[in-house]
Amino acid sequence: MTIQEAASILGVIRQDDVRTIKQKFRKKIGQYHPDAVGSDEPEHIKKAQLINEAYSILRENAMQGKEIPAATPVWKARVVENAFTGRTIYMILWEDHKKEYIEVTRGRYEWDPDLEEFDCLLKSLNQAVLELLEKIEHQNGIFQDYEYDLKTQRFPYQVQLFHELAGQYILPVSCLKKLASPIKRDEEKRHIYKVQAFLGTKGDSKIFRAMLKLKNGDLLYADSLKNNRIMVSDGKGVSLGHLSLSEDSLYYVIIPILQKHLAQVKFVVSTMEVKRNIRPYAVRVNIDLYLRMDKIEEPEINSDQNVAIEGVLNSYDSYLKEIK
């Protein structure tokens, strides 16, 4: 554990002395120690262990007169003023090859790939969604999931809210510039990006046979953008299914760019891989996805997005009133 990680766990700042660090340790351990909270759940034990380790590191450094970095520095990502709700920013702490998420700060911050790992963003968005839904549940006097099997029933609302919040915090143009580098500019000085994608299928089917006929340099065409997927077809109009992208984060960047008509897209077959030594036979089509950015300005969050979120929450509220 680094000093920065320890400071984040206890909320210690640079000016804190040994006495202040001890006070913050006692307050924090009182919130999580199994004896204090009356729980022997593994997460409470693990949290208490981390707090103890953090205190040991900070106390030793403070006694030696070493400077302690600020625990919760001002997050350098831009603030999305019109976002529906704030979210918790996490960082990952590795302990013996196990991940532990540590809270860093909270606010309406956009996702900056240079500052925040994608896994941390997903956890942040999921947490923000649960907070919104639990608020509606509490307003309806529901405080336990098992009372109405809410884990199952709230899932469709979770999915809708997750995608709406992702659309607010993942600013696609800004993220594309950090996740990929333009390969060139055209004569009108528009940036062109190239992203790796692929298609694949198994067995003897119409799609399988259509993929086998593809050649390097063939163009594919976008049929639709549904459920966060890009559906494509060949030059004869045969549907080939949805594209898989090289990184999960790109789905939340490229698809919004296409939905908002911020770029022109071209799909070009690059290489083919056919495996005939297994049954059923398998084929993989590697594709170069080109984006020509027609607009470099980031679209602002409009009121419709917040209205959509409010609509999902109202629907959940109505559902809860029906089942009570």
pLDDT in tens, 81-127: 889 999 999 888 776 667 788 888 889 999 999 999 999 999 999 99
**pTM here?**
0.74
Collapsing DSSP to helix, strand or coil, 250 comes out as helix
Burial class (CB in 10 A: 0-12, 13-18, 19+), 26: exposed
Bigger pLDDT: 124 vs 2: 124
pLDDT in tens, 239-268: 999 999 999 999 999 999 999 899 999 999
pLDDT for position 213: 94
Burial class (CB in 10 A: 0-12, 13-18, 19+), 215: exposed
Mean pLDDT along residues 11-33: 78
Percentage of the residues of the chain whose pLDDT score is greater than 70: 89
Bigger pLDDT: 35 vs 277: 277
Give whole-number Cα distances, 306 to 164, 231, 268, in Å. 8, 28, 37
Distance from chain centroid for Cα 269: 29
Parallel/antiparallel/unpaired status of strands 87-95 and 98-107: antiparallel
Instruction: Work out the angle between the directed axes of helices 3-10 and 42-63 (0-180°, nearest 10).
Output: 120
pLDDT in tens, 140-184: 888 776 666 788 889 999 999 999 999 999 999 999 999 998 999
Instruction: Work out the angle between the directed axes of helices 118-139 and 155-169 (0-180°, nearest 10).
Output: 130
pLDDT for position 301: 66
Q: Where are the beta strands (DSSP E) in the chain?
A: 87-95, 98-107, 182-185, 191-202, 219-226, 229-233, 239-242, 244-245, 263-275, 282-293
Work out the pLDDT band at 302, boundaries 50, 70, 90. Answer: low
Distance from chain centroid for Cα 321: 31
Work out the pLDDT band at 38, boundaries 50, 70, 90. Answer: low
Residue-averaged pLDDT of the chain: 86
Contact criterion met (CB below 8 Å) for 93 and 100: yes
Least confident residue range of 20-34, 109-123, 275-289: 20-34
**Is pLDDT above 90 for 201?**
yes
Bigger pLDDT: 8 vs 55: 55
Bigger pLDDT: 11 vs 174: 174
Bigger pLDDT: 286 vs 37: 286
Collapsing DSSP to helix, strand or coil, 95 comes out as strand
Tell me the domains of the chain and their CATH numbers: 3-63 (1.10.287.110), 87-171 (no CATH), 175-293 (3.30.70.2330)
> What string of DSSP letters covers 177-242?
HHH--EEEE-TT--EEEEEEEEEEEESSSHHHHHHHT--TT-EEEEEEEETTEEEEE-TT--EEEE
How many angstroms separate the CA atoms of 203 and 277, rounded? 12
pLDDT for position 238: 94
How many angstroms separate the CA atoms of 61 and 150, rounded? 46
Work out the pLDDT band at 68, boundaries 50, 70, 90. Answer: low
Number of residues in the chain: 324
How many angstroms separate the CA atoms of 222 and 230, rounded? 7
Percentage of the residues of the chain whose pLDDT score is greater than 90: 52
